[in-house]
Structure 1
Amino acid sequence: MMFSTRIWRRSLLATTLAVCAGCAVGPDYRRPSTPGPAHFTREALVDIVGSPSVASQQGASSEAISETWWQVFGSEALNVKVQRALAHNPDLDAAMAALRQAQENVAAQRATFFPGVQLSYAPSRQRDAVGTLSPTLTSGSTYYTLHTSQLNISYDPDVFGLNRRTVESLQAQADNQRYQLEAARLTLAANVVNAAIQEASLRAQIDATTTVIDAQTRALAILHNQARLGYASALDVAAQESALAQARQALPGLQKQLQQNRDLLAVLCGDTPDQAGAPEFELGHLTLPVVLPRAVPSQLVTQRPDVRAAEESVHDASAQVGVALANRLPQFTLSAAYGGSATSFTRMFTDDNIFWTLAGSISQTVFDVGALKHKQRAAEAALQQSAAQYRGVVLGAFQNVADALYAIDSDARALAAADDAEKAAQRTLALTQKQQQLGYVNSLALINAQQAYEQARISRVQAQAARLSDTAALIQALGGGWQGSSGSKKSG
């Protein structure tokens, strides 16, 4: 009989310990399935071939992209600009603060794994109505000071994993904020690179447009002289005036874009527009990377911080299903109190003045008109929603890379054609200059050749800038070099 009682007690103890250890109800997180294409594009775009005078670009091995990927453009001024933006941009400061907030929320929730302890001391001066009621004190004294000290301990055993799922949810939110911070860094660096390329392009276009205006002005002056001498008609003069007006009309728009672009660069770097400084970038100082990063499509979901952020949203939603389910199950609470109360501070903890309590409770919702059940279903629907959104982000990432690859391929052909057109216009200008020196053509023909050359130069500048920008877009689409950052979480 004694042996069976001992077995019963041990079994009860083991059962109690198992219940206290508990299990986390709800689904354990698993990464949602995603598309796994063999290639980013429909055709294999490995080498982007230019022309004899335009650089080609080749795909590199699938090695990690450098954390300071913008250095591939070979501009020290650009390197300084990007580093300044990463150090002073207010959006990054806000993202870092959001990350710290999320991390502190995780730490605060983890504290609930342990008992809460409170210590209190409450002195009070009191007077008894001895004329009506019996005195409180055995001495019968009317006035007295009561000193009470108490230690309270409370603990909520995480039997069904409510707290563990809550911590899991908050940790997923913190990881989401970490990846959002890295995505913001990547986007900021790409914006600075694109703004620098745009500045260089606009400056070159303004220079070429100014040259065209000067040539058009000289051509109009020549036509005015020829019209006075009877060698040109009023129609010729009017046509040239129209051409000059169109050239002049293009210049203010380019100048406006340049000034606004400089404002953008200043703000990206955390400065006010009046601190923009002088323009710094020229196309000739930016190097086209001849080696393009190459990545396996299956790796993209781990290389892009925005994709990882979307995945953590799914993780958060998965944990919230567990929270909703645990809220439908019994809740356990243990509490204890120990203290003393006396009219003398030094006698609070003598034997006759000590008090203590030990209590436990179990609560279970038995009727709530289905509120908790519907909250669980809402959490399950939110999980399905976040999983679908995650797949959408992954598909968008594949599209970004494919678009960038197709753009670079088209840019190479466009730049090669623009370069050929510029060289042809340059040869035409050189031949016209020789013919003008020999007296075979007049100055107007030379000016027209100069105009054609400058227009071809503008087209080549635009094509060159587009190829640089799309190369930066490809690096950004592949996730940049955020995984090389010491502050990033590396996981598969």
Structure 2
Amino acid sequence: MKTTFAVSALVLTLSGCAVGPDFKRPALPENSGYSEGAHATQTPVAAGIAQHFNDNAAISADWWQLFQSPALNQLVKTALDNSPTIDAAHARFDQAQAVLDADYGALYPQVTANLGAQRQKPTSIRFGTIGTSNAYNLYSGSIGVSYAIDIFGYSRRALERDQASLTNQHMQLRAAQLTLTANVINSAFQIASLTAQIDATQAIIQNQQNLIGLAQQQYKAGLIANSDVLSLQSQIATTQALLPPLQQRLGQTRHLLATYLGATPANAQISEIHLSDFQLPVELPLSLPTDLVHQRPDILASEAQLTAANAQVGVSTAALYPHVSLNASFGQNSLKLASLFDPVNNLWSLAANLAQPIFDGGTLKAQQRQAQAAYRESLANYKLTLLNAFSQVADVLGALQHDAESLAIQQQAAQTAEQAGKLVDLRYQAGKASYIDLLNAQRQTQQSQLAVIQAQTQRLQDTAALFTALGGGWWSKP
């Protein structure tokens, strides 16, 4: 009895341990900021707006609603509901969940029931003599129980790996949703920008066509040379040549957006989108670097991969140790079905097995080294993901500063070009400026208008990029 108690206590004690390293999250970079020095608390004023950075402010899960565009909200919802990319990510998550659920069975006894019936006729030759043999029926029924005692944590490390793989797929799903949302928003901004550039170019062409009508009248009256008319016609042709590339890019962007929405270009039904439909968010959140590692899906997915690699080291280490299993069975055998369950036909067995690898040609050791090398690779990938994330946030913060500066400069340049154009037009009508001067002024006005549109679009896109770089706020909504 003492021996039995001691063995049982030893098994219970060993079953509580698991060989291999326990996972520890790598240390964060020492610098607590995203870039050198303290970051600015707000951007320069542009278009009457200065954006403010609020440290450690909460990020809404539906952050795109801050642009106050019902059309944009509907586009994002449609994409998240219908995108095949999201469906595939959901399916991968479900697969990882099923693998984890299946491997949980290793922690429990395995019970198997068997029922059999057979008819057979043995050979009549027995021990060198020829006798008689008759065919007979044999009926059997049994229940078997087997249980692998997880002394060294092989099964528990495998479950730890599977749980980390499930977390990885969960974060991959979140990353796919965040990437899709960012792509839809950027496409919407780009469509609005291209539409505005096309409208501005068409307005310029209309003004130039009005001028050429006046120039032709002046030419017939002998007031100007034919070369002035030809120069103006050349300028109109140059401006008109800008339209096909813009229209082509607009079509391609709409087709790309249709793909994000899970529809063909013919069935996407994308409404008209204009820059005036969007309001630039003024208050912008800025998470602390220590919080970023718990928010960004790509960092969390990389950490889960690192956890899984660490657990795999434990699995390969546990494979080097003994495997202990218990087996039991109970059943009946009978020549007659009616007497199958009579006590006289009972059969039972109890067995304990211990298997210890002794020689395998170095296979298990090599698998352990492979798992350790895979962990080092995952660790390097995790560090690289972390560095890229910090760099991306720093880039966006700098971009928002420069976007405001650029927009302010472009707006000033556009106002100056417009005023200069009006003065040149007055001078031309007074006969004090040539057509070349007028054409140059118009060209400068056109370029400045398009530059303002592009600067406005870039500011919107970089604002959305900040929310994306911070993780998108998925954790604030179940």
TM range, smaller chain: over 0.9
User: How many angstroms apart in 2 are the aligned matches of 1:251 and 1:233?
Assistant: 29
User: How many angstroms apart in 2 are the aligned matches of 1:193 and 1:288?
Assistant: 13
1:32-431 matches, cutoff 5 A: 32-43=26-37, 44-51=39-46, 53-129=47-123, 132=125, 142-220=134-212, 222-223=214-215, 231-233=223-225, 236-237=228-229, 239-431=231-423
User: How many angstroms apart in 1 are the aligned matches of 2:3 and 2:24?
Assistant: 40
User: How many angstroms apart in 2 are the aligned matches of 1:159 and 1:443?
Assistant: 93
Note the C-alpha offset of 1:243: 3.0
Is 1:25 equivalent to 2:39 in the alignment? no
The corresponding residue for 1:473 is 465
Note the C-alpha offset of 1:146: 1.5
User: How many angstroms apart in 1 are the aligned matches of 2:238 and 2:426?
Assistant: 29
Deviating more after overlay: 362-371 vs 188-197: 362-371
Normalising by structure 2, report the TM-score. Answer: 0.92
Deviations 1:280-316 (A, max 9, x none): 2100111111111111111111110110000001000
> Which secondary structure does the structure 1 equivalent of 2:241 belong to?
helix
- Is the contact made by 1:57 and 1:290 (CA closer than 8 Å) also made in structure 2? yes
The corresponding residue for 1:3 is none
1:432-471 matches, cutoff 5 A: 449-471=441-463
Note the C-alpha offset of 1:227: 5.5
- Is the contact made by 1:126 and 1:145 (CA closer than 8 Å) also made in structure 2? yes
Note the C-alpha offset of 1:219: 4.3
Deviations 1:425-482 (A, max 9, x none): 3334455566677787789876765554333211100000000000101110011111
- Is the contact made by 2:116 and 2:139 (CA closer than 8 Å) also made in structure 1? yes
Normalising by structure 1, report the TM-score. Answer: 0.90
Note the C-alpha offset of 1:231: 4.9
Structure 2 counterpart of 1:260, which letter? Q
Structure 2 portions without partners, runs of 5+: none
> Which secondary structure does the structure 2 equivalent of 1:360 belong to?
strand
Structure 2 counterpart of 1:325, which letter? T
Deviations 1:131-171 (A, max 9, x none): x559xxxxx98343211111111111101000000000010
- Is the contact made by 2:232 and 2:439 (CA closer than 8 Å) also made in structure 1? no
Deviating more after overlay: 255-264 vs 222-231: 222-231
Structure 1 counterpart of 2:71, which letter? A
Deviating more after overlay: 209-218 vs 224-233: 224-233
User: How many angstroms apart in 2 are the aligned matches of 1:290 and 1:468?
Assistant: 11
Note the C-alpha offset of 1:249: 2.2
Structure 2 counterpart of 1:248, which letter? Q
Q: What is the total number of aligned residue pairs between the two structures? A: 473
> Which secondary structure does the structure 1 equivalent of 2:59 belong to?
coil
User: How many angstroms apart in 2 are the aligned matches of 1:198 and 1:419?
Assistant: 19
> Which secondary structure does the structure 2 equivalent of 1:48 belong to?
coil
Note the C-alpha offset of 1:212: 2.4
Structure 1 counterpart of 2:89, which letter? A
User: How many angstroms apart in 2 are the aligned matches of 1:133 and 1:377?
Assistant: 56
Note the C-alpha offset of 1:125: 2.2
Deviations 1:243-268 (A, max 9, x none): 33332222111101101111111111
User: How many angstroms apart in 1 are the aligned matches of 2:213 and 2:437?
Assistant: 13
User: How many angstroms apart in 2 are the aligned matches of 1:446 and 1:277?
Assistant: 42
Structure 2 counterpart of 1:389, which letter? N
Structure 1 counterpart of 2:334, which letter? A
- Is the contact made by 2:93 and 2:169 (CA closer than 8 Å) also made in structure 1? yes
> Which secondary structure does the structure 2 equivalent of 1:255 belong to?
helix
Deviations 1:330-363 (A, max 9, x none): 1112111111111222311212211111112111
Deviating more after overlay: 389-398 vs 293-302: 293-302
Report % sequence identity: 39
Structure 1 portions without partners, runs of 5+: 1-5, 135-139, 487-492
Question: What is the RMSD of the two structures over their aligned residues, measured on CA atoms?
Answer: 2.5
Aligned CA distance change for structure 1 residues 384 and 285 (closer, same or farther; 3 Å): same
